[in-house]
A and B are shown apart, each in its own frame.
Chain A
Amino acid sequence: MNVTVAGVLRLLVLVLSVVVLQLAVVGQVNVFDANADLLPLVAMSIGLLAGPVTGATVGFLLGLVADMALLQTLGVTSLLLVGVGYLAGRYRELRDATHKMVPPLGGLIATLGYAAAFSLVQFLLGVESPVSPLVIREIAVSALLNGLLAIPVFTAVRAFLRADLIDDLRPRRRPVTRLRVTT
Chain B
Amino acid sequence: MYKKSVRRRRAVLALLVSLSIALLTVYFGESASGGLHAIQRGFLEVLAPLQEGANRALKPARDLVGWTGDVFDAKSENEDLRSENERLRRQVAALQTAERDARQLRALVGLNRSEGFPDGYDTVGARVIGRSPTVWYSAITIDKGSSAGVRVNQPVVSGAGLVGRVSDVSGGAARVTLITDHTSGVSAQIVPDGPNGLVKATVGNPTDLLLDFVQKGRAVRTGATVITSGWRSSRLESLFPRGIPIGQVTRVDSDERELYQRVHLRPFADLRELDVVEVLTRKPAPVENAQVTP
Residues of A within 8 A of B26 (CB): 74
- Closest A residue to B42 by beta carbon equals A68
Given contacts A52-B9, A72-B137, A122-B136, contact A132 B204 (CB under 8 A): yes
Asked if residues B167 and A71 are in contact (CB atoms below 8 Å), the reply is yes
Q: A132-B202, A135-B204 given as contacts; is B136 within 8 A of A22 (CB)? A: no
Q: How far is B128's CA from A27's CA once the two chains are assembled, in angstroms?
A: 12
- C-alpha gap A66/B139 in the complex (Å): 13
Complex alpha-carbon distance, A56 and B9, angstroms:
10
Give Cα A164 to B197, complex, Å.
59
Cα of A135 to Cα of B9 in the assembled complex, Å = 35
Q: Is B147 an interface residue (CB 8 A)?
A: no
For A27, A66, A74, A122, the residue with the greatest tally of chain B CB atoms inside 10 Å of its CB is A74
Q: Which residues of B contact A52 (CB under 8 A)?
A: 9, 13
CB within 8 Å for A74 and B182 given contacts A52-B13, A57-B16: no
A21 CA / B183 CA spacing, docked (Å): 27
- Closest chain-A Cβ to B231's Cβ sits at a distance in Å of 20
Determine whether the beta carbon of B65 is less than 8 Å from that of A29. Answer: yes
Q: Would A68 and B12 be within 8 Å (CB), given that A23-B133, A60-B20, A128-B183 are in contact?
A: no
Q: From residue 1 to 45 of chain A, which have CB atoms closer than 8 A to chain B?
A: 16, 19-31, 33, 35, 37, 39
* Closest CB in chain B relative to A27 CB, distance in Å: 5
B residues near A82, Cβ cutoff 8 Å: 13, 16-17, 20
For A129, list chain B residues within 8 Å (CB). Answer: 182-184, 200-203, 210
Set of chain B residues within 8 Å of A35, measured between Cβ atoms: 133
Interface stretch, picked from B49-57, B75-83, B91-99, B115-123, is: B49-57
Closest 6 CB pairs of A and B: A135-B204, A75-B24, A75-B23, A132-B205, A79-B20, A23-B130
Residue-wise interface mask of A (130-143) relative to B, using a CB-CB cutoff of 8 A (1 in contact, 0 not): 11111110110000
Q: Please, how many angstroms separate the alpha-carbon atoms of A35 and B66 in the complex?
A: 12
How many inter-chain contacts with C-beta < 8 Å in the A-B complex?
168
Contact of A20 among B25, B36, B50 (CB under 8 A): B50
Q: Which residue of chain A has the shortest Cβ distance to B181 in the bound complex?
A: A129
- Please determine whether A27 and B133 come into contact, CB atoms closer than 8 angstroms: yes
Taking CB atoms, residues of chain A closer than 8 Å to B21 are: 75, 79
Residues of chain A within 8 A (CB-CB) of B278 are: none
B259 at the interface (CB under 8 A from A): no
Contact across chains for A70 and B130 when beta carbons are under 8 A apart: yes
* B-side interface size class: 35 or more
- Assess whether B51 is in contact with A20, with CB atoms less than 8 Å apart: yes
- Which residues in B have their C-beta under 8 angstroms from that of A78? 16, 19-20, 23
- B51 with A24: CB separation less than 8 A: yes
Candidates A71, A75, A79, A128; contact of B182 at CB < 8 Å: A128
Please indicate the chain A residues that have their CB under 8 angstroms from the CB of B204 in the complex: 131-136, 138
Contact A68 B43 (CB under 8 A): yes
Q: Which residues of A contact B65 (CB under 8 A)?
A: 29
Determine the distance from Cα of A70 to Cα of B55 in the docked complex, in whole angstroms. Answer: 15
Q: With A27-B130, A63-B20 in contact, is A56–B202 under 8 Å at CB?
A: no
Task: Tell me the smallest distance from the CB of A142 to a CB of chain B, in Å.
Answer: 8
Task: Please name the residue on chain A nearest to B12 by beta carbon.
Answer: A53
A-B contact pairs, 21 of them (CB 8 A): A24-B129, A25-B54, A52-B13, A57-B16, A60-B19, A67-B40, A69-B51, A69-B130, A70-B139, A70-B175, A71-B40, A71-B167, A74-B26, A75-B22, A75-B23, A82-B20, A127-B203, A129-B183, A129-B184, A129-B201, A135-B203
Residue contact B51 to A23, C-beta cutoff 8 Å: yes
Contact B130 A73 (CB under 8 A): no
Does A155 count as interface, using CB distance less than 8 angstroms?
no
User: What residues of A have a CB within 8 angstroms of the CB of B55 in the complex?
Assistant: 24-25, 28
B202-A57 in contact (CB<8A):
no
Residues of A close to B200: CB separation below 8 A: 128-130
A155 to chain B, nearest CB (A): 19
Does B61 count as interface, using CB distance less than 8 angstroms?
Answer: yes
Does A154 touch B at the CB level, under 8 Å?
A: no
- Report the bound CA distance from A145 to B182 in whole Å: 25
